[in-house]
Amino acid sequence: MTPADAAIPNLQQDIQRAVKNALAEDIGDGDITAQLIPADRQARARVITREDCVFCGKAWVDEVFRQLDPELQVLWQVADGDRVTADSTLFELRGNARSILTGERCALNFVQTLSGTATTASEYAALAEGSEIRILDTRKTIPGLRTAQKYAVLCGGCHNHRIGLYDAFLIKENHIAAAGGIDKAVSQAHQIKPGALVEVEVESLQELQQALDAGADVIMLDEFTDEMTAEALKLARGRAKIEISGSVNEARLKQLSGLAVDYISSGSLTKHLRAIDLSLRLLSE
């Protein structure tokens, strides 16, 4: 998978922006430690992962070194979405030694964060194997890395919920109260952005029926028992998709799979990640 394959708007522009900002905050008015190295010194370096992971971040690494030094070569051994084992080589660098060491931390920060996201997503995706349930991410992402983490979720085998507040409606309790009811909220949504997905969060079977009658596309069940969920699925069949939001574990997923829920969304995909341990070492010529 590559950024061009992902249905995420503005991803390439966001990569360029994120890298530019990361380099600016790290380098400031100059890398003074790199100045210890002769300006014309050439070097080779290898980056490895110290642990098993699902790799993600190729385009961000390429962009780091493109912005720093277009003549520096990045030689890839893996692709986004690959499962790699501890001590595997991810990529090698060849070129100016100063450029390699100046870009090292920014490049590794992107890879360790995005690979961590992809690895977490892969663990959740494995729980859903054999079922029709699609596990979705949320907007609970690292500020400034929304599209990057959404892309990493895809690399890990899960799916994207809405990208932001602009591309789909998610009408919750406060929206319903402020708009004057579920029917009014859904009706206004269809008028504001015709064709956009409209999702409503409901707290009872009565509210679910209201959302169905209003024409919601997806209905999120809030604190429904299994019995209520089963009834909700009967009422919604052929009229709307059903989403469950909340903690996901193997036992719970098996229960929901038996009920034929369409979606489970979890903020843990992007906010409970653990960065992957990486290492860069210069190689002797």
Catalytic residue among 44, 46, 66, 172, which? 172
Catalytic residue among 17, 66, 94, 105, which? 105
Nearest residue to 205 via CA among 184, 222, 217: 222
Catalytic residue status for 46: no
Catalytic residue among 217, 222, 231, 277, which? 222
Distance CA 118, CA 158 (A): 9
Alpha carbon of 149 to those of 53, 68, 154, 171, 191: distances in Å? Answer: 15, 23, 9, 24, 31
Catalytic residue among 17, 44, 46, 140, which? 140
Pairing of strands 134-136, 263-265: parallel
Distance CA 86, CA 83 (A): 10
At residue 37, the 3 state secondary structure works out as coil
Nearest residue to 188 via CA among 283, 67, 180, 58: 180
Catalytic residue status for 243: no
For 155, residues 6+ apart whose C-beta sits below 8 A from its C-beta are 1, 54, 55, 56, 80, 81, 114, 118, 121
Catalytic residue status for 193: no
Rg (C-alpha) for the chain, rounded Å, is 23
Distance CA 115, CA 133 (A): 23
For 64, residues 6+ apart whose C-beta sits below 8 A from its C-beta are 19, 22, 23, 103, 106, 107, 110
User: Residue 272: CA atoms inside 13 Å, Cβ hemisphere, count?
Assistant: 12
Catalytic residue among 31, 63, 104, 201, which? 201
By annotation, the residues acting in catalysis are 105, 140, 172, 201, 222
